[in-house]
Amino acid sequence: MPILRQISQLGQPVLRQTAGEVRDVSDPAIQALIDDMIETCREADGVGIAAPQVYQPLRLFIVASRPNPRYPGAPGMEPLAMINPVILSASEEKEKDWEGCLSIPGIRGLVPRHTSLTVSFTNREGEAEQRTFSGFVARIIQHEHDHIDGSVFLDRAEPRDLITEREYQRILRASHMP
Ligand code: ZN
């Protein structure tokens, strides 16, 4: 049974360090970590979570886009574990959109991100994969990849593009008005 892990909060050093490679994907501790991260992300209404957010300084994150109260417009997908990911290429085009972070509750920001990118990674079965992603999922991957390099979305947003969660929810409700 997966267990919910405690989510590290901004200010804790684990969020600011460069994470190390996962050496053995088949290690039961890594497999349990993946299961726990998927459950922790789902329970917290996240669309992704990186290992440093559960106090593990490892190059591993989960991408799990689905519509939820924090991201009503998110596309649905099966949770995907990306281990030792490398961004091989990214579109020149960037787009600003709203992001939040389970480690930075109460704040939202407009963050410029590449609209598509190609990533190589190891999946949880230990197989090498290379895939191209676009739109919101590409945004999640860039957000989570920042976490394993010790960055957070605040580092990439203009200070004036930061707002409170309450104001964000107000904008969201207004945009859903007919
Ligand atoms: Zn985050």
Domains of the chain by range and CATH?
13-175 (3.90.45.10)
Expressed in angstroms and rounded, the spacing between residue 121 Cα and the centre of ligand 1 is 19
Tabulate helix, strand, coil % of the chain (nearest 5).
30, 30, 40
Per-residue pLDDT of the chain (178 residues; tens, 9 = 90+): 899 999 999 999 999 999 999 999 999 999 999 999 999 999 999 999 999 999 999 999 999 999 988 888 889 999 999 999 999 999 999 999 999 999 999 999 999 999 999 999 999 999 999 999 999 999 999 999 999 999 999 999 999 999 999 999 998 888 865 5
Contact 7, 44 (CB under 8 A): yes
Expressed in angstroms and rounded, the spacing between residue 49 Cα and the centre of ligand 1 is 6
Q: What is the pLDDT of residue 122?
A: 98
For residue 11, the SS3 value is coil
Residue at token pair 């109260």: 69
Phi, psi torsion values for 73, nearest 5 degrees? -95, 5
Q: What is the pLDDT of residue 72?
A: 84
Q: What is the pLDDT of residue 157?
A: 97
Q: What is the pLDDT of residue 178?
A: 54
Expressed in angstroms and rounded, the spacing between residue 100 Cα and the centre of ligand 1 is 7
Expressed in angstroms and rounded, the spacing between residue 102 Cα and the centre of ligand 1 is 6
Task: Report, as residue numbers or ranges, the catalytic residues.
Answer: 144
Q: How far apart are CA 14 and CA 175, in angstroms?
A: 36
**Paired strand residues for 49:** 62
Expressed in angstroms and rounded, the spacing between residue 141 Cα and the centre of ligand 1 is 10
Q: Which of 99, 122, 124, 118 is nearest to 109 (CA)?
A: 99
User: In one letter, which amino acid is 83?
Assistant: I
Element (H, E) at 162: strand 162-164
